[in-house]
Amino acid sequence: MTSLAVLNTSQLVTLGGLKRPRVATELSELGIIRDGGMLVCDGKIEKVGPSDEIEKNAGDAEIVDAGGRVVMPGFVDAHTHLVFAGNRLDDFERRARGETYEQIAKAGGGIWSTVEKTRAASEVDLLARAKKYATWFLRCGTTTVEAKSGYGLTLEDELKILRVIRQLKEEVRLEIVPTFLGAHAVPRELSPDEYLDVVVTEMLPRVHAEKLAEFCDVFCERGYFDIDQSRRILSAAKTVGLNLRGHVDQLTNSGGAKVMAEMGATTADHLEQTDEQGIAALKKANVQPVLLPGSVYALGSSHYPRTGEMIEAGLAIVLATDFNPGSSPTPSMPMVLSLACTQMKMSPAEAITASTVNAAYSLNRGDRIGSLEPGKLANFVIFDCQDYRELAYWFGAPQTYSVYVRGECVSRSGGL
């Protein structure tokens, strides 16, 4: 048995309490223990409490002196596109010069350029890149990510990406939840309906047979997959036992939120254009909204989702990075916290709940991660600050001091 006693925190931010996602005023209840400590045994949390009490019960546990810093659960990033080849630096520069999405696509940019590079890349190349990004996530204090396929758009290329995700899980300490997003875009060589047939009759059965994903996602948007097509994909996914997520109402309000509610999805993601009917539908069906301010910011938009109304309606908000090479090239949850507070007017406490315990529930892992409570995995981060609000406040300044997954130190500032 290996034991750790984490002592001398300024704030042990437990997020303990309710055994369900948090809503309304619950979003602000962080369960902070001042001068707190924590006992960890064999990768799991055994006890939390005042530091001096934990010290008395420490026995021969290895002491981790937090030195008056903040200790929190590792961030849970519930929306990333972790596996891809190349980058979109040219798009980035064109956008900075003021070119439109259409102009950039015409110049050979956009999602299609990432699809071409990802198709051409070997599993070994994709794995090497993804490992680098996994390290970035850990350094930012994230210990679990959801990872989507979606830059292959052929049977073999989608399976290739999902196999890379599975291999990555074996080789890195970051915990990874796989999602199948074959319906990310329509490939140039097929019509939308032809491609839909491939997704439903060829891809989904293989994803299911090889147990490559827990969730199925779809990009429901004008020019991608409309409401009826999205419904068909999600129904087929449900039939093979996958849980549902969806990119909806990002660029236009197409009624995507309502479809996710109707399909009994776990999450509806983006929602920048969702109106009050969409919000009411999500509430009625208990769908968790996953808000992605990084993509709004990186695209130079100011059209953030109606966060205040969503909180008021009682939705169990989640915040995520949407890490991807085109619209949100950031692995940094602290950056997302900053955007949530400055642009979406969430409080720092609400933002932290949305990026830890609520995110864990949105990945069906609320009973194992997302808070520091006895019985849960010891996935936690020591941040080099004295008050949790500093995480959202000092934007752009790295504050991660050390990161633990299942009780083991996996990243330390300045390397391991």
**Residue 217 makes contact with Zn ion by CB under 5 A:** no
Least distance (Å) from Zn ion to the CB of residue 327? 8
Least distance (Å) from Zn ion to the CB of residue 209? 26
Taking the least distance from each CB to Zn ion, the nearer of 139 and 184 is 184
Residue nearest to Zn ion (CB): 322
Which window, 25-33, 64-72, 315-323, 334-342, contacts Zn ion (CB under 5 A)? Answer: 315-323
**Residue 91 makes contact with Zn ion by CB under 5 A:** no
From the list 146, 158, 322, 373, which residue makes contact with Zn ion (rule: CB under 5 A)?
A: 322
- Report helix, strand or coil for 31: coil
DSSP-derived secondary structure for 70-114 = EEEEPEEE--B-----S--HHHHHHHHTT--HHHHHHTT-SHHHH
Taking the least distance from each CB to Zn ion, the nearer of 214 and 322 is 322
Q: 3-class secondary structure for 165-204?
A: HHHHHHHCCCEEEEEEEEECCCCCCCCHHHHHHHHHHHHH
- Report helix, strand or coil for 412: strand
Taking the least distance from each CB to Zn ion, the nearer of 59 and 300 is 300
Binding-site size, Zn ion (CB under 5 A):
1
Which window, 13-21, 39-47, 157-165, 322-330, contacts Zn ion (CB under 5 A)? Answer: 322-330
**Residue 77 makes contact with Zn ion by CB under 5 A:** no
Cβ–Cβ under 8 Å, residues 158 and 81: no
Spatial distance between the Cα atoms of 64 and 287, rounded to a whole number of angstroms: 39
Spatial distance between the Cα atoms of 357 and 16, rounded to a whole number of angstroms: 9
Taking the least distance from each CB to Zn ion, the nearer of 220 and 381 is 220
Least distance (Å) from Zn ion to the CB of residue 184? 8
Taking the least distance from each CB to Zn ion, the nearer of 129 and 376 is 129
Spatial distance between the Cα atoms of 223 and 234, rounded to a whole number of angstroms: 18
**Following CA atoms 154, 158, 159, 163 in sequence, which dihedral angle do they give, to the nearest 10 degrees?**
150
Nearest to 37 by CA among 65, 6, 64: 6
Which window, 91-99, 297-305, 314-322, 345-353, contacts Zn ion (CB under 5 A)? Answer: 314-322
**Residue 249 makes contact with Zn ion by CB under 5 A:** no
**Radius of gyration for the alpha carbons in the chain, expressed in angstroms and rounded:** 21
Cβ contacts of residue 94 below 8 Å, gap of 6+?
103, 104, 107, 109
Least distance (Å) from Zn ion to the CB of residue 87? 16
Least distance (Å) from Zn ion to the CB of residue 363? 15
Least distance (Å) from Zn ion to the CB of residue 179? 10
Taking the least distance from each CB to Zn ion, the nearer of 41 and 220 is 220
**Residue 158 makes contact with Zn ion by CB under 5 A:** no
Least distance (Å) from Zn ion to the CB of residue 322? 5
Q: What are the residues binding Zn ion (CB under 5 A)?
A: 322
